[in-house]
Amino acid sequence: MKLLLLLGLVAMAQCLALRVPLWRGKSLRQSLQEHGLLQNYLKQHPYNPATKYFATSASAEPLQNYMDNEYFGTISIGSPAQEFTVIFDTGSSNLWVPSVYCSSPACTNHNRFNPADSSTFIGTNDTVEIAYGTGSMTGILGYDTVTVADIEVLNQIFGLAETEPGDFFYYMPFDGILGLAFPSIASSGATPVFDNMMKEGLVAQDLFSVYLSRNGQSGSFVLFGAIDSSYTTNGISWIPLSAETYWQITMDSVSIGGQIVACSAGCQAIVDTGTSLLAVPNSALNNLLSALGASSNGQISCDAVSSLPDVVFYLNGQGFPVPPSAYVIQSDGYCILAFQGMNIPTESGELWILGDVFIREYYVIFNRANNMVGLSPLP
């Protein structure tokens, strides 16, 4: 598909909030299904083709890259399996999908879980409510078999959405969200999927790793239980977590052209696969835009892009650069910086979000065994 039209691009940069970016379109699965091509496609493309590249002790979930905005994969819930596309989100902790109990427009145009069709479903009277930066859901909790990257997790708790207000989720190409952050931030005390994988010994190591492709290319994945050494040839830098909530780390500073422009006294950041852009405190946004020669809304001359410097994020005493090719969004002669102002207060100050713009530059390892994030520069 063609990159978002100019107005859509401006809206994305100006209105984007946590979790889900603004875009409109159908998923590959939906399009194939509407044209009667889905079954043939699935036969020609095995459910988990990426696993052939990894040892049998690890399981890879291939992700579809939609315009560098969202990365989503397919899971199944129930017996027999009901399939759903989900965002693998390191910025939240709950698994939920739409259910047949939901009549919101956002549910009616997505796959919906029907507990009556699953012989292994166990219902509860417990409710769940989750509010993201954009979009929200309410529903009930249930237990069932969840299969992710060929890993079968029995009696996994998940949310069955009964309402998805507004139109944010209506336009999303995925059905639900699978959170990969810590249990401490899970709504209604639900145990996250990866915690059950670890508890049941379903992964060889208590970690997972993520590769996000660039320029809409294929090949993105989440690898559960292993590190793919072919993506770590430039070495791994390990950064200890500062809180076991999100994948939260301490950032030393942010510099441009060798000059510190933000976070001069240190600040907190999270590595979040569920956020498309780089979300920064409003107090720091103007400094960043000014240092890069952009207008107050982030617009910049496309002629200037080739001469822009890297934005360097200093973590645990080491610099992690993001080049202009990554942080400038270009379309039809229009250029805008991929920074979004947003205030998210924490006990340690306002939070920075290192979203997909940052993650695409690194192979990222989320290590629960020693509570660290590993970063390996990609070519």
Whose CA is closest to 78, among 115, 110, 108?
Answer: 115
C-alpha–C-alpha distance, residues 224 and 213, integer Å: 18
Query: Of these residues, 89, 195, 252, 356, which one is catalytic?
Result: 89
Which residue matches tokens 């006990």?
347
Query: Of these residues, 195, 228, 272, 356, which one is catalytic?
Result: 272
Residue 307 backbone dihedrals phi, psi, to 5 degrees: -105, 5
Instruction: Decide if 228 is catalytic.
Output: no
Question: CB 353: neighbour CB atoms within 10 A?
Answer: 25
DSSP element (H, E) containing 193: helix 193-199
202: left (phi over 0), alpha (psi -120 to 50) or beta: alpha
C-alpha–C-alpha distance, residues 20 and 135, integer Å: 8
Whose CA is closest to 20, among 340, 287, 351?
Answer: 340
C-alpha–C-alpha distance, residues 334 and 343, integer Å: 27
- Contact criterion met (CB below 8 Å) for 19 and 135: yes
- Contact criterion met (CB below 8 Å) for 99 and 117: no
Instruction: Decide if 272 is catalytic.
Output: yes
- Contact criterion met (CB below 8 Å) for 111 and 83: yes
Which residues are known catalytic residues?
A: 89, 272
